[in-house]
Amino acid sequence: MARQTATRTGHSRHAPSPYDLVLGEELDALHPRLRPYFDGIPDGSTGIGTGVFERVGTPRLWLWPLLWILKRDGVLFPVWSSRVPFTVRNHPVVDAAGNTAVLATREFRFGAKRPWATNQQMTDAITAERGRLVDHLGTQRRYVARLHAEVVDGELHLASTRVSVRFGRFAIPIPTAIAPVVRLVERFDEKSGLQQVSVVVEAPRLGRLYEYAGSFSYTVVQERMP
């Protein structure tokens, strides 16, 4: 059952997050150190995570021409790299349709070893729509993934169930037989004291196409979205 009232972080009240609205009391089974990431962010605040991705991208060079296109929209990048520092900033917003959303901007700092990449940003907005989580990817929100979410042993697991591409006002679903599947796992590692994230993009018959995985620390601070 979804929470109907605002929850509290520190001394600031805030509206429920998309995860609150969809998962409701199931969120209580998350590891407590993950809750700040998935609870609602107070108005006028930003969630900031800093860490290192152990690996980013894909070694399949035949995919890179497509990734160059996705790079322009802040979705994925044509790289295969390790030990990449990153920062994620989460902002609470309301989208054009009036849906509660969390806008996330991830900055990947590839540095001089990837001169064509250097610093790159990945942008998406998670919303709660008709009882489901929906991820709008890219600066233009051109790519849309409907997500199944569940809490497993204190971890949050997300998997896309439908992927669409938006053309103007219309979103065209990619046929299931060829649609990529995005899988995400967020967990907390007691030994390191860090939050860990793993994202994998797979396709039928082709297997793993893209990935990024690493660990980070996360806190919510008073900082308005620029």
**Predicted local confidence at residue 199, as pLDDT:** 98
**Predicted local confidence at residue 113, as pLDDT:** 61
- The CATH number of the structural domain formed by 7-222 is 2.40.128
**Predicted local confidence at residue 1, as pLDDT:** 35
Separation in Å, CA 26 to CA 11, 131, 208? 24, 14, 29
pLDDT above 70 (res 13)? no
d(CA 135, CA 42): 21
d(CA 127, CA 136): 8
d(CA 91, CA 1): 25
d(CA 48, CA 123): 14
